[in-house]
Structure 1
């Protein structure tokens, strides 16, 4: 199964981290020295994605600007001999035509955001990557999923899953577990935020998906679900009646950067993964922990 396109839903308001996101899209908040959106685009690029599709909304133009060239900045860096900085910008610069942007004109949920990308995706399997969830690992989560997809039927759908404590399963979408082969298993049902004590497993649905284009047909007629929104999980439950879904237990450390505590933890984790920052940060953390 060849996965060439990835959809990045970036129209959300980021209300969990207000007031930081009042004027700044949450996807542009920085983890160490890169915005969130750059990390997930890098993850997709590592996985072999060729076309990056952003579903945006109001106040998100800076995301498009981030992936564009800034000729004034390039000229200034060149004039000052800032070769290292120029190399960083060149490395992150996408190829011309590799990115598309479309609008979700109302906050109608993740399922609706994915549906908004239907004409750009076309009739081929595609990835969905939620930008406020980072996975610290090499290879990245999406690369692991695409490797798993290569071992499955070409009409398969895949969901990245992570084990959560049993007493917290009511806070997540949870997969039922069928036949297993290593870190891959057949999804035997999906439940969005099951009542306490009723979850079919402790494996939660996280922010990485590989979906067949038939999901758009389901989303087209899907009724509004939890929160009055069109839920992607509801659409996957509908599609699962006709196509196989598989869960992939990925390797890596997941960080929910859409919450304030998760955002802070991600900054620490990614900084500690950088040799040039690790020792100084460790010393500073010991100082603050001692207070």
Structure 2
């Protein structure tokens, strides 16, 4: 059975971006003219997934509104001949099959994923974190699905992490099991450099067998007093193989202020209408 369902946890409080996230979901922060969540959903759809569950929380209604139809606005644009803006709105309509469920209180990423149990039932599913944007010719999630189809096992994407950032990631230990593929032995949530088993950290893309849900139910509060997805993965490893794929594409962490700015600059430099003037501006800034 291949992967046709995706879970996108988007219930976090966004405290690193306060005060703007007091009234605006961090997932709706714009990358030029599209919000972060647009790129995440787009990756799932481009990976062949046609059933997407977004886990939201209190104050996240703007995410639902974004993916809803806007017939009055579209009629207005059509009447005034604003074809480019109209096409941009029509693009959102291809993201059909999106469902929403609310995490009642912020109890951690693991608890948010557990909210998807009834929706996913006994099917494998992808998890895409709403903070991370991946850029590659083949979507990161599609690459993980291809590995799942070959192995029948859960797999997560990893990349090398600088020493000073190890405490921000789930850090893995594993044995080589193919090109850019590790068979996991352990994963530790937010370790100190002395505790870290490697420099490879989980980067917010996963494909899981449904066995993860029973592991999440047995997971107790971990780092930060929350139900950690990493701890559930450790339990899953005890009953079945779990792999880690060393992702070679670009990853942008929009949940970090500097990462957010880097994302905007990268996408702006690929925009034909902006890149010339932006490059001139950046060169001017660098000379100051």
Specify if TM > 0.5: yes
In the TM superposition, structure 1's runs of 4+ consecutive aligned residues that sit over 4 Å from their partners are none
User: Is the Cα–Cα contact under 8 Å of residues 177 and 200 in structure 1 kept in the other structure?
Assistant: no
Q: Is 1:150 matched with 2:149?
A: yes
1:120 is aligned to 119
Residue 12 of structure 2 is aligned to residue 12 of structure 1: yes
What's the offset of the Cα at 1:33?
1.2
Q: How far apart, CA to CA, are the structure 1 residues paired with 2:280 and 2:50?
A: 41
Task: Tell me the number of residue pairs that the alignment of Structure 1 and Structure 2 aligns.
Answer: 288
Distance in 1 separating the partners of 2:103 and 2:164:
35
CA distance in 1, matches of 2:135, 2:119: 29
| Matched residue, 2:91 | 91
Q: Which residue of 1 is the match for residue 237 of structure 2?
A: 240
1:59-208 equivalent positions in 2, closer than 5 A: 59-94=59-94, 98-152=97-151, 154=152, 156-208=153-205
Confirm whether residue 33 of structure 1 aligns to residue 30 of structure 2: no
132-141 vs 233-242, which moves further? 132-141
Unaligned runs of 5+ in 1: none
Change (3 A) 1:56 1:289: same
Q: 2:280 aligns with which of 279, 283, 286?
A: 283
Report if the CA contact (8 A) 1:67-1:94 is conserved: no
Check 1:252–1:273 CA distance in 2 against 1; reply closer, same or farther (3 A cut): farther
What are structure 2's unaligned runs of at least 5 residues?
Answer: none
SS at match of 1:281: helix
SS for the counterpart of 2:188 is: strand
User: What is the root-mean-square deviation in Å for CA atoms of aligned residues?
Assistant: 1.4
Whether contact under 8 Å (2:253, 2:260) holds in the other structure is: yes
User: Are the counterparts in 2 of residues 257 and 263 from structure 1 also a CA contact under 8 Å?
Assistant: yes
Match of 1:6, SS?
Answer: strand
CA distance in 2, matches of 1:252, 1:51: 25
Matching residue of 1:263: 260
Aligned equivalents of 2:92, 2:143: Cα separation in 1: 22
Measured against aligned partners, the alpha-carbon deviations of 1:100-121 in whole angstroms (never above 9, x if no partner) come to 1111000100000000111111
| Distance in structure 2 (CA, Å) of the matches to 1:275 and 1:79 | 27
Q: SS of the counterpart of 1:181?
A: coil
User: 1:87, 1:182 → 2: CA distance?
Assistant: 40
TM-score (norm 2): 0.96
Cα separation, 2, equivalents of 1:151 and 1:94 = 29
Deviations 1:41-94 (Å, cap 9, x if unpaired)?
111111001111011111111111111111110110110112222222112214
